Structure 1
Amino acid sequence: MKKYYLGIGLLIILVVGVLLRGYYNNEIVLCAVGDILLDRGVRKEMKGDYDHPYKKVKNILNEADITIGNLECPITYGGTPALKRPIIIFKADPENSEAVKEAGFDILNLANNHTMDYGTEGIVNTINTLKKTNINFIGAGSNYEDARKPLYAQAKNCKIGFLGYSVFPPEGYITFSDRPDVAKIDIKSLKDEIKSAKSKCDFLVISIHWGKEYGFYRSDMQKKLAYAIIDSGGDLIIGHHPHVLQGIEGYKDGIIFYSLGNFVFDRQIQNGTDETIIVNFKLKNKRLDRIEIIPAKIRNCQPERVYGEEAHYILDRLKMYSDGMNIKIDIRESKGYIKF
Structure 2
Amino acid sequence: MDASSRRSPVPIPAADPELEARLRDAVAAKAKPPGSLGRIEDLAVRLGTIRGSARPAAGKATLLLFAGDHGLCEEGVSAYPQAVTAAMVATFLSGRAAASCFARTVGAEVVVIDAGVAADLSGMAGLVHAKVRAGTRNAAREPALTPAEVEEALARGAAEARRAVRDGADILLVGEMGIGNTASSALLMHRLLPAPLALCIGRGAGHDEAGLARKRAAIEKAAARSAATDPLRVLAEFGGLEIVMMAGAVLGAATERRPVLVDGFIASVAALAAFRLAPEAEASLFFAHRSAEAGHDLLLRTLGAAPLLDLGLRLGEGTGGLLALPLLRAAAAMLAEMATLDEVLAGAPGGG
TM-score, normalised relative to structure 1: 0.31
Structure number with greater CO (CA < 8 Å, separation at least 6) is 2
More strand by share: 1
TM-score normalised over the length of structure 2: 0.30
Is the helix fraction higher in 1 or 2?
2
